[in-house]
């Protein structure tokens, strides 16, 4: 088994500096150094094409509600396919690269980093396709059954990712906002794509300004953003598809919590029908089949707690 707290000297040089960690804590996102080789990013592209053509190393044992599962019959819209880290071993092996977990652990000052979920994304080069626009949202809204507010997401494009191709855009510092809208749906819901007024309203309630930053991500680099940070992406106006993985990560302290709306309705997460149960009978977000450990702190390591 891979030693989860051993990095090469070259990989240690790629970790965020103390200043990088401080900046992440302030603005809520970080653009990494080159964490993946060209061979690894090209392998992701090739594996994704095999996946779209029907290849699976294994299939989900059950189909959870709200599963994103694009199929060719769905046509030329934005493709989202959940649990790519479970279904395709080539992709999973690259995502399990300890360096990725170590970067996330250092940024979030966590001693352990696990997979939460991974979605394969393909944004077609069709500028006026409505599904190409992902409006403002924060990821934690969709994870109400998670106990941690220290989760984060790595956005991993397979190529240079620019504003023209519809790169991810961050709202600086919005993870620190304490007053958030009380709408039934978060910004980013496909039924209400604009919703700029909610973003502006939240900024006003927090005495903040909306500072949007489209991030140019060179090939092999990736962004990491806090689970409470507002972010979104625009249309792909380039001549090529935008290919990426949204890699959701959980710190070791995260666990299932029962979440209910004000009217008593329970709101589950798609994991809850897939993962094993704990001794108390609740979904286990540390299930190694779906939520494997990427990084653990050990003696002599370079974990976030030292940053």
pLDDT tens for residues 59-85? 999 999 889 999 999 999 999 999 999
Query: Do the beta carbons of residue 191 and residue 249 sit within 8 Å?
Result: no
- The token duo for 224 is 């990491």
218-271 per-position pLDDT tens digit: 999 999 999 999 999 989 999 999 999 999 999 999 999 998 776 677 678 999
C-beta atoms surrounding 32 within 10 Å: 24
| Beta bridge pairs of residue 155 | 223, 246
Query: Do the beta carbons of residue 166 and residue 132 sit within 8 Å?
Result: yes
- At which residue do the structure tokens 């819901």 appear? 189
| Beta bridge pairs of residue 119 | 82, 246
Instruction: Classify strands 293-296 and 79-82 as parallel, antiparallel or unpaired.
Output: unpaired
Q: What distance in Å separates the CA atoms of residue 120 and residue 55, rounded to the nearest whole number?
A: 14
Those residues with Cβ within 8 angstroms of residue 279's Cβ, 6 or more apart along the chain or in another chain: none
Share of the chain above pLDDT 90, in %: 74
Q: What's the pLDDT score for residue 194?
A: 53
Share of the chain above pLDDT 70, in %: 89
Q: What's the pLDDT score for residue 128?
A: 83
Q: What's the pLDDT score for residue 5?
A: 58
Those residues with Cβ within 8 angstroms of residue 164's Cβ, 6 or more apart along the chain or in another chain: 236, 237, 238
- pTM for the whole thing? 0.91
If one compares 194 and 27, the residue with the highest pLDDT of the two is: 27
For residue 300, pLDDT beyond 70: no
Q: What's the pLDDT score for residue 17?
A: 97
Element (H, E) at 268: none
Q: What's the pLDDT score for residue 304?
A: 41
Q: What distance in Å separates the CA atoms of residue 134 and residue 118, rounded to the nearest whole number?
A: 17
For residue 301, pLDDT beyond 60: no
- At which residue do the structure tokens 């589950």 appear? 268
What is the rounded radius of gyration, in angstroms, for the C-alpha atoms of the chain?
Answer: 19
How many residues are there in the chain?
307
Q: What's the pLDDT score for residue 196?
A: 76
Query: Do the beta carbons of residue 246 and residue 225 sit within 8 Å?
Result: no
For residue 144, pLDDT beyond 70: yes
Ordered by where they begin, the domains of the chain are 9-60+68-299 (2.60.120.620)
Q: What's the pLDDT score for residue 127?
A: 81
Q: What's the pLDDT score for residue 307?
A: 35
For residue 306, pLDDT beyond 50: no
Q: What's the pLDDT score for residue 251?
A: 98
Give the residue-averaged pLDDT of 293-297. 93
C-beta atoms surrounding 276 within 10 Å: 12
Mean pLDDT of the chain: 89
Query: Do the beta carbons of residue 48 and residue 243 sit within 8 Å?
Result: yes
């Amino acid at each position: 088994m891979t030693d989860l707290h051993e990095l090469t000297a070259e990989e240690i040089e790629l970790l965020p500096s103390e200043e990088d960690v401080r900046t992440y804590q302030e603005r809520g996102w970080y653009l990494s150094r080159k964490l993946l080789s060209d061979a690894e990013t090209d392998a992701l592209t090739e594996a994704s094409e095999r996946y779209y053509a029907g290849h699976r190393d294994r299939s989900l044992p059950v189909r959870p509600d709200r599963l994103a599962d694009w199929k060719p019959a769905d046509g030329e819209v934005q493709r989202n396919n959940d649990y790519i880290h479970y279904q395709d071993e080539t992709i999973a092996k690259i995502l399990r690269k300890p360096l990725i977990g170590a970067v996330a652990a250092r940024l979030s000052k966590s001693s352990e980093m696990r997979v939460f979920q991974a979605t394969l994304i393909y944004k077609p080069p069709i500028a006026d396709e409505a599904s190409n626009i992902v409006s403002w949202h924060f990821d934690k809204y969709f994870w109400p059954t998670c106990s941690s507010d220290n989760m984060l997401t790595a956005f991993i494009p397979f190529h240079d990712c620019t504003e023209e191709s519809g790169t991810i855009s961050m709202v600086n510092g919005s993870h620190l906002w304490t007053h958030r809208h009380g709408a039934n749906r978060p910004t980013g819901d496909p039924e209400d794509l604009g919703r700029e007024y909610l973003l502006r309203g939240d900024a006003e309630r927090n005495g903040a300004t909306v500072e949007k930053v489209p991030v140019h991500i060179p090939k092999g680099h990736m962004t990491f953003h806090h689970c409470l940070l507002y972010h979104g992406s625009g249309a792909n106006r380039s001549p090529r598809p935008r290919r990426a993985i949204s890699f959701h990560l959980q710190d070791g302290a995260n666990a299932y919590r029962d979440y209910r709306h004000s009217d008593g309705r329970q709101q589950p997460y798609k994991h809850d029908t897939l993962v094993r149960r704990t001794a108390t009978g609740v979904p286990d977000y540390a299930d190694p089949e779906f939520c494997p450990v990427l990084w653990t702190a050990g003696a002599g390591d370079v974990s976030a707690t030292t940053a």
